[in-house]
Structure 1
Amino acid sequence: MRIGIISHLKYPIAEPFAGGLEMHTHMLARRLRQRGHDVMLFASTRSDPDLGLEAICDETALMGVGVDEATDIGFFREHHAYLGLMNRLRRSDFDIIHNNSLNYLPVAMADALPMPMVTTLHTPPFCWLESGIRECRGLTSIFVGVSESIRRAWSAITPVTEVVRNGIDLDRFAYVVEADPDRYLVWCGRIVPEKGLHYAMDAAALVGVPLKIAGPVLDKAYFAKEIAPRMGAGTQYLGHLPHAELAAVIGGASAFLCTPCWEEPYGLVVAEALACGVPVAAFARGAIPEILTPDCGVLATPDDAVALAAATRQALMLDRAACRARAVAACDADGMIDAYEALYARCLGQAAFTALKVVPRSPTSTDSPFSPSRSLFHGQDPELVA
């Protein structure tokens, strides 16, 4: 099957990942290619070329997007990158488009494409994406939520017909039977206000166990105001770690702290911790309660460091094997890809999908993703994907 994946553009789809969306997009493209699909990823420069990359924008030109859309040059560069892509996709021969971006244009222009589009919703509603979705009639579009929480959040704006939870590569977050004898807690993620690192630092201080921190500092003002003053003998900032180093740090921890200050859409860091066998203490926000069960995590009242400290003390007593078992049952990337393949099949019609799987296409030097050949979706009833 020929699959075009539209990415978020602000950060490269490459390690070390800026956040969960970039890691998810990388996983999706890589696993689909491993299953024999012909995948083209439309992303920013410096993304992983092994994913079948076509770079459509330089992410360094977009660093200010969203700050002041009325005057921001980056906003218009992003707009025109997506506009040019969507116009080219109208003349392409992809079988299906998977929109993994946060931009309004792909969804607003989806009905103009000759093939169906699957859009995964990774965030609660916000004005720009909501405006694009309201323009989409849904004739050839399906909206997927990464959690039941996201499905509920978007339900007043558009039908979210599917929930496909994000998955991780369990082999890359290997099970660690015993924590490091020098006991420590761990927090990782983007260091921005909505991730609430300062609450984790306060809770760790209350518990009296050292805290290791990993992740990119994407809000320097927040770091200077809330994080730097809390740094002391009980905390260690490790920087933005490569994947293997991050997995080792997580695996050695006695417990993982998750502190979202917004309605967390999914929580890939929670899945990563569980895969390593590390119990989780987390604020009960968004999709976090969908991932954690009482044998692998403890939920705390949001925005309450004292409650998080109490949850951490309980989490330290949980069984690591139960944590790994939960990750295997609920967070495996293979299950995610199975679900997306089944969804693509329903979009295209089972017969066409089966034929593609049995007789895979062999790329040739003239086999361009933008060649004007007929899409499999041409001539099919739009109600198949409504």
Structure 2
Amino acid sequence: MKLLFLSTPVGCLGSGQGGGVELTLQNVAQEMRKRGHEVQVVAPVGSVLGDIRIVGIAGNLQVPAQSQGRDLPICLPDNSVLANMCEYVRQEQTNYDLIVNFAYDWLPFYLTPFFRCPIAHFISMGSMSVALDRIMTDVAQKFPEAIAVYTLSQAATFPFAESCHILGSGIDLDLYQFCPQPGESLAWLGRIAPEKALEDAVAAAKITGIPLRIFGKMQDRDYWQQICQDYPDAPVEYGGFLSTVELQRELGQCRAMLMTPRWVEAFGNVVIEAFACGVPVIAYRLGGPAEIVRDGKTGFLVEPGSVTGLVEAIQRINEIDRYACRQQAEAEYSLAALGDRFEIWFNQVRQS
């Protein structure tokens, strides 16, 4: 197949601004090329995706959906990079067998009936907007095969849940080294933004006295500064936004990873990245992580918002066999398994 991928419009690929969908797009593109498919990616100018071909499109970035209210009207910035990307796709569509949309935004869904080339929409987050839910529901009704998500928990946030293909995620396991003997630190990995509730992990680190190493995109600096003011004595260290090679080296040395979102996490690629390094995950029993973490075997699930639950799980972390974490990653989240699921879905969209 000749595949044209439409990237997230909230930031350049490689910046981390797009969150987990950046990793998913890269891994799917990599695996499709390995299988002999032709892949080209349309993304904001400045994007980097290894040796995968990118058409960089100029324009102003889109405001992330998770930072807006559910009832706000749809809007595009002047000289919108998303509108410009969609126009490029419109002009080039006859050269491709399938357009694959990774942009969590109203415009690509609205335009779907106007394109001659079939469009497959991979939705990377749960329900965020009434207007966006409505247009996605429209597409699900008119094109029943066209929508896929990560997990059942994510699908359940939408009115069209039964129409969603559940594809999960996957990573290149060769890039992650298993670490059987960690140090003393805990880890927290993700975008530093309010919906990720980093302060809960910091509070748990302060109570236990165990150092917490924080990695990820600094998306909301005011939020970070507030955490530092609220927990001045907490044993925390911000390690920055790292490449996969650097991240797995640092992450593997940690005893466990904490995952503390206050929203429904669609999947949580960081969970399987931790597992690949042999790192158990302590996560809130919410969204995608609750479908991934095997409570008592590859980590612990605690009630959302319960710092006490986090502390109790941290105290039990030595009960987890780190090799079991790596085994789960290998069995369920390889690129080959991910490629099988996406390839089947792509063919279903083309034939529908």
With normalisation by structure 2, the TM-score equals 0.90
Give me the whole-angstrom Cα distance separating, in 1, the residues matched to 2:61 and 2:198: 25
Letter matched to residue 62 of structure 1 = L
Q: Is the 8 A contact 1:18 1:216 kept in 2?
A: no
Aligned residue in 1 for 2:61 = 62
Whether 2:320 is the aligned partner of 1:321: answer: no
Q: Is the 8 A contact 2:16 2:22 kept in 1?
A: no
8 Å contact from structure 1 (residues 279, 316) kept in 2? no
Aligned pair count reads 344
SS in 2 for 1:4: strand
1:265 is aligned with what amino acid? A
Residue 112 of structure 1 corresponds to: 114
Match of 2:181 in 1: 178
Give, as a single letter, the amino acid of the residue that structure 2 aligns with 1:87.
Answer: R
Match of residue 3 from structure 2: 3
Other-structure match for 2:213: 212
TM alignment of 1:328-367, pairs within 5 A: 328-348=330-350
Structure 1 position 228, deviation (Å):
4.6
Q: Report the residue type matching 1:46 in the other structure.
A: G
Cα distance change of structure 1 residues 21 and 196 upon mapping to structure 2, 3 Å threshold: same
In structure 2, the partner of 1:142 is 146
Q: Give per-residue Cα distances to partners, 1:122-158, cap 9 Å, x unaligned.
A: 111222432432443534751111001112222x246
Aligned pairs for 1:73-222 within 5 A: 74=77, 77-90=80-93, 92-127=94-129, 128-136=131-139, 137-139=141-143, 142-154=146-158, 156-157=159-160, 159-180=162-183, 183-222=184-223
RMSD across aligned positions (CA)? 2.4
Shift of 1:283: 0.8
Q: Which has the larger radius of gyration?
A: 1
Between the aligned partners of 2:74 and 2:337, the Cα distance in structure 1 is: 43
* Conservation of the 8 A alpha-carbon contact between 1:206 and 1:306: no
Q: Distance in 1 between matches of 2:76 and 2:128?
A: 21
- Return the TM-score normalized by structure 1: 0.82
Alignment CA distance shift 1:81-1:158 (3 Å): farther
CA distance in 1, matches of 2:156, 2:258: 25
Contact 1:18 1:190 in 2 (8 A): no
Structure 2: how far apart are the matches of 1:75 and 1:192?
Answer: 25
**Closer/same/farther in 2, CA of residues 2 and 148 from structure 1, 3 Å limit:** same
Which amino acid counterpart does residue 127 of structure 2 have in structure 1? P
| Distance 1:160-1:5 versus aligned 2 partners, 3 A rule | same
Taking only the aligned residue pairs, the percentage that are identical comes to 26
Counterpart Cα distance in 1 of 2:28 and 2:194: 28
Distance 2:286 2:138 in 1: 30
Give me the whole-angstrom Cα distance separating, in 1, the residues matched to 2:115 and 2:185: 52
Q: Structure 1 regions of 5+ residues with no counterpart?
A: 349-383
Is the contact between residue 13 and residue 43 of structure 1 (CA under 8 Å) also seen in structure 2? yes
Counterpart code for 2:157? A
> Counterpart of 2:28 in structure 1: which amino acid?
L
Task: Tell me the SS of whatever aligns to 1:84.
Answer: helix
1:277–1:320 Cα contact (<8 Å) kept? yes
Q: How far is the alpha carbon of 1:212 from its aligned partner?
A: 0.8
Q: Hey, what's the Cα distance between the residues in 1 that align with 2:237 and 2:249?
A: 15
